[in-house]
Amino acid sequence: MTRSDQAPAIVGPVVENWSVPPYPNKDVLTGNYCQLERLDAEKHAALLFRVFEGHDQVWDYMPYGPFSSSAQYHRWLKEVAALTDTVFFAIKNFHTGAFEGVASFLRI
C-alpha cells in the first residue's frame, strides 16, 4: 500500500484557533548582522551574480542555477521577483556592506 492510499499521518498536536498569517509585506527586514531587501533584478542581479560566479556548488541542492551569464541570472531574478507565492530577498551583510546572498519565503 502506498502512502497516498492511507489516511494522513498525524505529525503533532492539533493547533487550536490557527489562522493564516499575514503575507510578508515589508520591503526591508533589518537584523543584527544583515538586512534583507525585497529582491529587485535591476538593483541586485549584477551584484549577486558576481558573488555566485564560479561557485557552482552553491546551486547543488537548488531547483535552479547555476547561471552561465549575468543576463541569464538577471532574467531569473526578474521572474522570481514577480512571484506572489514566493518572496525573495537579497541579503546585505552589515560587516562587509555587500549583498552576498538570497533568501526566500516559499509557498506562501
b/e 36-46 (16+ beta carbons within 10 angstroms → b) = bbbbebeebbe
Q: How many CB atoms lie within 10 A of CB 26?
A: 11
The whole model's pTM is what?
0.77
Domain map of the chain by residue range? 26-105
pLDDT reported for residue 73: 95
What are the φ and ψ backbone dihedral angles of 72, each rounded to 5 degrees? Answer: -65, -45
Q: What is the mean pLDDT of the chain?
A: 89
The residues of the chain scoring below 70 in pLDDT are 1-5
26-105: CATH number: 3.40.630.30
Report the pLDDT value the prediction gives residue 41, as an integer from 0 to 100.
95
- The confidence score (pLDDT) of residue 88 equals 93
pLDDT of residue 66: 93
Q: What is the pLDDT of residue 26?
A: 83
